[in-house]
Chains A and B, each alone.
Chain A
Amino acid sequence: MLELLDITKVYKGSKRAVDGLTLRLGPGLHGLLGPNGAGKSSLLRIAATVTRPTSGQVRFEGTDAVARPARLRRALGYLPQDFGVYPNLSAREFLGYLAAVKGLSARSARTRIDELLELVNLTHAAKRPLGGYSGGMLRRVGIAQTLLADPRVVIVDEPTAGLDPEERVRFRNLLSDLAADRVVLLSTHIVADVESVAGRIAVVKDGRLRFAGTPDELLRTVDGHVWEAVVPPETELRFRTTRRVRVPGGIRVRMLATAPPLPGAVAVAPDLEDAYLAAVHR
């Protein structure tokens, strides 16, 4: 449905943010994982038609979305990482304006906005100016605008930043429902955000694709490579550690290694964070 083919983005000063990256996205939730500065936001801006790639193609249902972005934009819900709002408008007015820009009819927009405000739990504050909203409330307005036109493609960049735990759970449920028959591309550097909901995961670093597949496939890449041991606090470790917890008698460390890294180290079942870190540092 949405294809990012051999995408490269080079910014001024020759910074290569995305480097020959290809992703083919069908219905389902795709988690885009990577450290800060990996090129995730650049890739998402390209997928959302906000930025042009330096080279490569974005194709939506066979159409070149770089040259002719209108078709994808009509089908798109995009939540950028940082965004501004009109502080003097209320949430209802702001969403009404954006619905008009999307071309929704007035009656349809009214009903849809009511439902979306309820969905993001903002009905009680719908008439208040956005200038008085907290960061989490603004993020929820952003989520609501993403869904205004019932998009077939949803692109969300670090969507849970600023949300409290309850809202994060609600948002994950929402993404799961959306992913039933839509393309959902979610970018984050927090593994927990995707591990319970993503059907497929792509790991990027330095603008390049390090892994693409299902969470199980990602886990299998580190099968038998995760070890735990309790070591004295001053121990110098030569292996990549994924976790350190202070316990009585020293520090329990979790390490990535192809063979037992220390005497007494025991193999443990890998989790997605281990697999992600291994993919990033491979």
Chain B
Amino acid sequence: MRAAWGLAVADFRERTRRPGYLLMLLSAIGLGWLAVPAADAHWVVLDAGGRRGVYTGAYVGLVTALTSALWLTFVGFYLVRDTVARDERTGVGHLLASTPLRTAVYLGGKFLGNVLLLGSMAAALAATTLALQQLRGESRALDLPGLLAPYLFIALPMLAVTAAAAVLFETTPMLRGGLGNILWFFVWMVGAVGGQSPSAPLGGIGLPHLPSMSGGEFSLGLTYVDTPLRTFEWPGLALPPSYVGGRAIVSVMAVAVALLPALWFHRFDRPVASRAGDVPVPPSVYRGLPRTAPAYGPGLPQLFAGELRILVQGTPWWWWLGAALLFWLPLAVPPGVALALIWVWPVLLWSRLGTRTTTFLAAYPSPHVRLLASWAAGVAVTAALGALASWQLPLPFAAASLFVPALALLLGTLTGTPRTFQALYTVWWYLIINDVVSLNFMTGGLPPSLVGSAALGCLVTVLSVTAVRHARR
């Protein structure tokens, strides 16, 4: 247990000392502000049959804990799921693997580290909640137990589930990469929607008795309201033994899920596909400097080819199989259906844009040309995949082919990780599928001219950010 705790604390310290952590805390504070709006605001997060609770300590605790159970579980997964990969990347994993540390203890430490990080965000949210309660002024009575109980029984178990899922996904071969990032969105969606039901197993996300207070009507999620809601007195979270037991079981199950990969986790002993070092080295002597003087010329085609290679190499075989099927799909189904699939399938490839670099390039010329070549490679992949399907909507297809890789390049360059684009783009398509026409760049409310302009905007932003970073290097 001491080793697991040591791992967790080291992990927590490593992650909280990055500039991005401050952004995470600010996001948590922003969540609080969303969940406890002013009395005349036109949005709510919790609508209990046209009513909301008076902002007592217990109610603001409830509503912000529910908000974190709903949204921190989604975003939090992407924030914490790099811990095992980082150990592998930095070589720390090999150091740990050479110690007597047991695999289950390692996984337990990683799980605890994730819980600590997500818990610190929840703590920032709780502190914000306390301040907001005083600021809104509907009830200034200090009720710390009432405020914190929902965090303990609603937020914490859900964050534990998220922390465990992150460990499980990171240590399971098929789920380790971008596929896992996309899958989490659907797992989360099913959990978030199904978990609000009174009949959800083990109490779902943790509030089965709210609908009965509101006459059966209730909605959880950011909602626009025409007129501010009426208020009621929330008595505080009831804690019958069955409820507390259900939350405890959820937490224990989270621990079990986190430890489950001990059955298959590689412990950083992954076989390398090609051991170039195994090839016998032929005898060789130093014969002096190369004789051919380098000649400069039009290098753009080679640069584009290089970027294309960087983009597609290492892509698993099943992706190529899917891409081949998608290419010919318009011959068998209406092109509209094929196009929708084409716009989702390359998400793992696009998300690599802007995130793959090498230290050498910092001292190489033409960083902007490189970025444009990288974007062009993303456009080429899109165009190739949709070559057969695009004839029906050539203009929207062309505009979107420019835009989506540009967006991926922008997010990749800004955040340095493919996860941002993967998460955002998956949500985007979820909204399109749910008829949010204003986001539909193929057959909906986004005209090609606007999409094309957005592509240009993304590119200009990427180039500007790179120029600023270069100037501040």
Q: How far is the CB of A189 from chain B (nearest CB, A)?
A: 20
Instruction: Report if B174 contacts A (CB, 8 A).
Output: no
A50-63 CB mask vs B (1 if < 8 Å, else 0) is 11100000000000
Instruction: Report if A116 contacts B (CB, 8 A).
Output: yes
A92-133 CB mask vs B (1 if < 8 Å, else 0) is 010011111111111111011001101101011100111111
A105, B370: Cα distance in complex, Å: 16
Flag if B365 contacts A103 (CB, 8 Å).
Answer: yes
Residue among B301, B313, B364 making CB contact with A88, cutoff 8 Å? B313
Residue among B281, B282, B303, B360 making CB contact with A100, cutoff 8 Å? B303
Flag if A80 contacts B360 (CB, 8 Å).
Answer: yes
Among residues 19 to 69 in chain A, which have CB atoms less than 8 Å away from a CB atom of chain B?
A: 48-52
Q: Which residue of B lies closest to A66 (CB)?
A: B473
Instruction: Report if B227 contacts A (CB, 8 A).
Output: no
Beyond A78-B360, A128-B276, whether A88 also contacts B314 by CB under 8 A is: yes
Flag if A105 contacts B298 (CB, 8 Å).
Answer: yes
Flag if A73 contacts B363 (CB, 8 Å).
Answer: yes
Residue among A82, A106, A177 making CB contact with B288, cutoff 8 Å? A177
Flag if A112 contacts B292 (CB, 8 Å).
Answer: yes
Flag if B282 contacts A129 (CB, 8 Å).
Answer: no
Instruction: Report if A230 contacts B (CB, 8 A).
Output: no
* Residues of chain A with a CB closer than 8 A to B313's CB: 86, 88-89
Residue among A102, A125, A174 making CB contact with B289, cutoff 8 Å? A174
Q: Which of B276, B307, B357, B358 has the most CB of A within 10 A?
A: B276
Q: Which residue of B lies closest to A79 (CB)?
A: B360
Residue among B277, B289, B306, B366 making CB contact with A177, cutoff 8 Å? B289
Q: Which residue of B lies closest to A115 (CB)?
A: B290
A73, B277: Cα distance in complex, Å: 32
Residue among B294, B306, B364 making CB contact with A150, cutoff 8 Å? B294
A87, B356: Cα distance in complex, Å: 11
* Residues of chain A with a CB closer than 8 A to B276's CB: 125, 128-130, 132-134, 137
Q: How far is the CB of A124 from chain B (nearest CB, A)?
A: 5
A131, B362: Cα distance in complex, Å: 21
Among B80-88, B154-162, B267-275, the one that faces the other chain is B267-275
Instruction: Report if B361 contacts A (CB, 8 A).
Output: yes
Instruction: Report if B309 contacts A (CB, 8 A).
Output: yes
Instruction: Report if B1 contacts A (CB, 8 A).
Output: no
Instruction: Report if A76 contacts B (CB, 8 A).
Output: yes
* Residues of chain B with a CB closer than 8 A to A99's CB: 294, 299, 302
A118, B288: Cα distance in complex, Å: 10
A88, B306: Cα distance in complex, Å: 12
Flag if B273 contacts A132 (CB, 8 Å).
Answer: yes
A99, B361: Cα distance in complex, Å: 11
Instruction: Report if A243 contacts B (CB, 8 A).
Output: no
Instruction: Report if B472 contacts A (CB, 8 A).
Output: yes
* Residues of chain A with a CB closer than 8 A to B284's CB: 118, 121
Residue among B273, B295, B307, B310 making CB contact with A108, cutoff 8 Å? B295
Flag if A145 contacts B360 (CB, 8 Å).
Answer: yes
Flag if B364 contacts A102 (CB, 8 Å).
Answer: yes
Q: Which residue of A lies closest to B356 (CB)?
A: A86
Instruction: Report if B434 contacts A (CB, 8 A).
Output: no
A248, B175: Cα distance in complex, Å: 63
Among residues 136 to 154 in chain A, which have CB atoms less than 8 Å away from a CB atom of chain B?
A: 137, 142, 145, 147-150
Among residues 407 to 454 in chain B, which have CB atoms less than 8 Å away from a CB atom of chain A?
A: none
Instruction: Report if B317 contacts A (CB, 8 A).
Output: no
Q: How far is the CB of A42 from chain B (nearest CB, A)?
A: 12
Flag if B310 contacts A89 (CB, 8 Å).
Answer: yes
Residue among B295, B357, B473 making CB contact with A52, cutoff 8 Å? B473
Beyond A105-B295, A105-B298, A108-B295, whether A147 also contacts B290 by CB under 8 A is: yes
Instruction: Report if B279 contacts A (CB, 8 A).
Output: yes
Instruction: Report if A1 contacts B (CB, 8 A).
Output: no
Q: Which residue of A lies closest to B370 (CB)?
A: A101
Among residues 356 to 401 in chain B, which have CB atoms less than 8 Å away from a CB atom of chain A?
A: 356-366, 370
Q: Which residue of A lies closest to B358 (CB)?
A: A84
Instruction: Report if B297 contacts A (CB, 8 A).
Output: yes
* Residues of chain B with a CB closer than 8 A to A119's CB: 286-287, 289-290
Beyond A100-B303, A137-B277, whether A82 also contacts B359 by CB under 8 A is: yes
Flag if B277 contacts A134 (CB, 8 Å).
Answer: yes
A150, B301: Cα distance in complex, Å: 22
Flag if B310 contacts A86 (CB, 8 Å).
Answer: yes
Instruction: Report if B291 contacts A (CB, 8 A).
Output: yes
Instruction: Report if A173 contacts B (CB, 8 A).
Output: yes
Instruction: Report if A178 contacts B (CB, 8 A).
Output: yes
A77, B274: Cα distance in complex, Å: 29
* Residues of chain B with a CB closer than 8 A to A259's CB: none
Residue among B280, B294, B298, B360 making CB contact with A112, cutoff 8 Å? B294
Flag if A52 contacts B472 (CB, 8 Å).
Answer: yes
* Residues of chain B with a CB closer than 8 A to A74's CB: 365
Instruction: Report if B264 contacts A (CB, 8 A).
Output: no
Q: How far is the CB of A256 from chain B (nearest CB, A)?
A: 37
A130, B309: Cα distance in complex, Å: 14
Instruction: Report if B318 contacts A (CB, 8 A).
Output: no
Q: How far is the CB of B471 from chain A (nearest CB, A)?
A: 8
Instruction: Report if A70 contacts B (CB, 8 A).
Output: yes
A150, B289: Cα distance in complex, Å: 9
Instruction: Report if B293 contacts A (CB, 8 A).
Output: yes
Beyond A49-B363, A96-B302, A125-B279, whether A131 also contacts B292 by CB under 8 A is: no
Among residues 165 to 191 in chain A, which have CB atoms less than 8 Å away from a CB atom of chain B?
A: 169-170, 173-174, 177-178
Flag if B272 contacts A132 (CB, 8 Å).
Answer: yes
Residue among B281, B291, B359 making CB contact with A115, cutoff 8 Å? B291
Flag if B364 contacts A101 (CB, 8 Å).
Answer: yes
Given A50-B363, A104-B296, A107-B295, 15 further pairs, Cβ under 8 A = A78-B360, A83-B358, A84-B359, A87-B314, A101-B361, A101-B370, A112-B294, A116-B290, A118-B287, A129-B274, A132-B274, A133-B277, A150-B290, A177-B288, A177-B289
24 A-B residue pairs with Cβ-Cβ distance under 8 Å, sorted by A, are: A48-B363, A78-B360, A80-B359, A80-B362, A93-B306, A96-B306, A97-B307, A100-B302, A103-B296, A104-B297, A105-B298, A106-B299, A106-B301, A109-B299, A119-B286, A119-B290, A124-B279, A125-B277, A125-B279, A129-B274, A131-B273, A132-B272, A150-B290, A177-B289
Which residues does B use to contact A, with CB under 8 Å?
A: 272-277, 279-282, 284, 286-303, 305-307, 309-310, 313-314, 356-366, 370, 472-473
> Which 6 A-B residue pairings sit nearest by Cβ, starting from the closest?
A105-B297, A97-B306, A88-B314, A100-B302, A115-B290, A128-B276
